[in-house]
């Protein structure tokens, strides 16, 4: 599949860019990316606060749930929590799947940023190659062509000779100066086009972002595994640990979503009109005409270097023509003249080779200055840094703990409480119907702590020899003594202790502080 020659913003880029651009006063602002503009920064902050508002609302709902759970009244109907356990397990698996997709999206985003950096480095490499070729041409003119033309001028200035030789040498000197000037102009226009600092900065930021993001997502998956382990083992401590860790994960995920959301908003504004952004932020070098030539690269656009390249090629061609004139005259020299100009022929050969090499280098420079190779990498960089990166950021913006995690955490609180209550009931034995009816009544009196009918620590009273002579009867749901002289226990208020056998409560409307809550 070939690299596209034009850049087209993706659907996500257009969607994010089409958002209303409002400041905090809800006034419409310019949608051009400009961090120096205070109103534009306000619109980024306004949209970036949307995930934070969702996070705050979710935490408030969780707070109300916990308050309602702590201060709720008990009902007589016994609840089954098997379905809730399966629901928690399902949401735990969903969170793990979403986090796995987020890790994959982070990896793809890393690949996109890497491709973007490589494309910019290739553009920088093309610019450096053009500068090196320009310096090479200038070096050949300065070190090879110009000194040999000077040697020819000295050789023929010693004696009077054919005037055509002097004219040809003067023309060669003028053409060398013209070629040097044209190459110097080209070198001045592209010498400051350097982008290695930008690519180095982006690479360093990505080297930190990629592993940190993957580590966070891996840690969140571990939190989900803690939830599932607690559900499988029915461990109240494990579920409470997940409740705390899930709350921390929700806050961190909310902050990550805010950051990714702001980045996506800013990139969408850049990528909607990337050429305009690039041309405005390149600075003075390269000049605007040259930058637009490479950014737009229209087939019929005028090459800003074409005139200088043509002048350089014409100058070297004229040097070759003048050199041929001198060579023809030198071949007609007699023996005496050839004896006087023994070094003339080697100088003419070396000068011809230097001129041909310079001419070829200028033609190669012309190919290196064409816009096609650089524009191809420019479009590839836009596709990697805009379309691909924003698409992959969307997979990272999903917070797996909202709303699934909120429900899982809330249900985890209820599941932890239910597992604790069921465990404590199993430890203390089954309660009689008289106790349940009295304990779950709707009166405002605090619940009492009754004795177990006909039992003592799980043993029948009649079976214990220490209580011989006692029998058991129901009097308001309590055991009474039957031996002579014993007073009937008609009220719980006659029991010993500061609270007459009752546990102290903080409020008439709040859940009783039971002894099972400490185990």
Structure-block tokens of residue 106: 């982070």
Tell the burial category of 383 from Cβ atoms under 10 Å away from its Cβ (0-12, 13-18, 19+).
buried
More confident: 139 or 415: 139
pLDDT value of residue 211: 93
Q: Which H or E run contains 344?
A: helix 344-368
E-assigned strand segments in 303-451: none
- Look at residue 181 and tell me whether its pLDDT is greater than 90: yes
DSSP letter at 35 equals: T
* 19-31: average pLDDT: 86
Categorise residue 457: left if φ over 0, alpha if ψ from -120 to 50, beta otherwise. left
Under 8 Å between Cβ of 217 and 103: yes
* Residues facing residue 502 across a β-bridge: 448
- For the chain, which residues make up each domain, given as ranges? 11-67+79-369
Q: Is the dihedral of CA 159, 161, 167, 172 positive or negative?
A: negative
SS3 78: coil
Name the H helices within 191-305: 196-233, 236-272, 274-281, 288-296
Query: pLDDT tier at 339 (50, 70, 90 boundaries)?
Result: low
Mean pLDDT of the chain: 75
Cα dist from 406 to 100, 184, 399, 460, whole Å: 19, 67, 11, 48
Output the pLDDT for position 78. Answer: 57
**pTM confidence score:** 0.69
- Residue 327's pLDDT is what? 82
Instruction: Dump pLDDT digits (tens) for 201-251.
Output: 999 999 999 999 999 999 999 998 998 888 888 888 888 888 888 889 888
Answer yes or no: is pLDDT of 180 > 60: yes
Q: Are 29 and 39 in contact (CB under 8 A)?
A: yes
Tokens encoding 339: 């004896």
Q: How confident is the model at residue 4 (pLDDT cuts 50, 70, 90)?
A: low
Cβ-count burial 37-47 (b if 16+ within 10 Å, e if not): eebbebbbebb
What is the residue whose two structure tokens read 């932020």?
A: 281
Percent of the chain with pLDDT over 90: 20
* Digit-coded pLDDT (tens) for 265-295: 999 999 998 988 888 888 777 888 888 888 9
Q: Spell out where 29-93 has E strands.
A: none
pLDDT tens digits, 104-113: 988 999 999 9
Q: What is the pLDDT of residue 69?
A: 75
pLDDT recorded at residue 362: 92
Of 512 and 379, the one with more pLDDT: 379
Per residue in 451-491, pLDDT tens? 444 444 444 444 444 444 444 444 344 444 444 444 444 44
- Residue 106 · residue 210 · CB < 8 Å: yes
Contact by Cβ (8 Å): 17, 269: yes
Q: What is the mean pLDDT of residues 138-145?
A: 90
Contact of 384 with 117, CB cutoff 8 Å: no
Question: What secondary structure letter does DSSP report for 388?
Answer: I
DSSP conformational letter for 516: G
Tell me phi and psi for residue 459, to 5 degrees. -115, 150
- Residues belonging to the chain: 519
Q: Write down the pLDDT at residue 161.
A: 62
Considering only residues 35 and 345, tell me which one the structure prediction assigns the higher pLDDT.
35
Rg of the chain, C-alpha, whole Å: 44
């Amino acid at each position: 599949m070939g690299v596209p020659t034009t850049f087209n913003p993706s659907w996500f880029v257009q969607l994010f860019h089409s958002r209303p651009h409002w400041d905090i006063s809800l006034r419409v602002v310019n949608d051009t990316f400009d961090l120096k503009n205070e109103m534009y920064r306000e619109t980024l902050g306004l949209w970036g606060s949307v995930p934070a508002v969702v996070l705050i609302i979710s935490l408030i709902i969780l707070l109300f749930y916990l308050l309602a759970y702590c201060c709720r009244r008990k009902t007589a109907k016994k609840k089954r929590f098997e379905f809730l356990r399966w629901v928690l397990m399902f949401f735990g698996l969903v969170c793990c799947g979403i986090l796995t997709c987020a890790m994959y999206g982070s990896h793809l985003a890393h690949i996109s940023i890497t491709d973007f950096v490589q494309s910019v480095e290739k553009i920088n490499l093309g610019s450096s190659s053009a500068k090196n070729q320009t310096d090479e041409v200038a070096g050949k003119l300065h070190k090879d062509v110009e000194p040999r033309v000077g040697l020819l001028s000295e050789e023929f200035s010693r004696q009077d000779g054919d005037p055509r030789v002097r004219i040809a040498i003067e023309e060669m000197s003028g053409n060398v100066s013209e070629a040097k000037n044209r190459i110097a102009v080209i070198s001045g226009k592209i010498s400051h086009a350097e982008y290695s600092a930008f690519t180095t900065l982006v690479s360093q930021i990505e080297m930190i972002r990629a592993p940190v993001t993957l580590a966070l997502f891996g840690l969140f998956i571990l939190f989900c595994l803690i939830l599932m382990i607690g559900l499988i083992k029915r461990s109240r401590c494990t579920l409470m640990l997940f409740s705390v860790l899930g709350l921390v994960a929700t806050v961190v995920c909310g902050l990550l979503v805010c950051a990714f959301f702001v980045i996506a908003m800013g990139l969408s504004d850049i990528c909607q009109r990337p050429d305009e952004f690039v041309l405005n932020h390149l600075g003075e070098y390269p000049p605007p005409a040259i930058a637009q030539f490479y950014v737009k690269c229209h087939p019929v656009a005028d090459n800003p270097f074409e005139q200088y390249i043509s002048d350089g090629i014409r100058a070297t061609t004229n040097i070759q023509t003048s050199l041929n004139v001198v060579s023809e005259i030198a071949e007609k020299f007699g023996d005496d003249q050839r004896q006087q100009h023994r070094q003339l022929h080697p100088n003419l050969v070396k000068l011809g080779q230097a001129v041909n090499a310079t001419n070829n280098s200028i033609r190669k420079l012309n190919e290196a200055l064409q816009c096609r190779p650089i524009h191809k990498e420019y479009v590839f960089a836009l596709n990697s840094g805009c379309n691909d990166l924003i698409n992959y950021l969307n997979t990272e913006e999903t917070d797996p703990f909202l709303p699934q995690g909120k429900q899982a955490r809330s249900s985890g609180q209820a599941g932890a409480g239910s597992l604790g209550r069921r465990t404590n009931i199993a430890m203390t034995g089954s309660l009689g119907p008289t106790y349940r009816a009295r304990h779950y009544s709707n009166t405002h009196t605090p619940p009492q702590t009754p004795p177990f009918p006909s039992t003592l620590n799980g043993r029948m009273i009649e079976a214990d020899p220490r209580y011989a002579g006692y029998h058991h009867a129901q009097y308001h749901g309590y055991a009474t003594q039957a031996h002579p002289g014993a007073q009937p226990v008609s009220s719980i208020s006659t029991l010993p202790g500061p609270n007459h056998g009752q546990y102290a409560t903080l409020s008439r409307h709040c859940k009783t502080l039971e002894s099972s809550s400490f185990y």
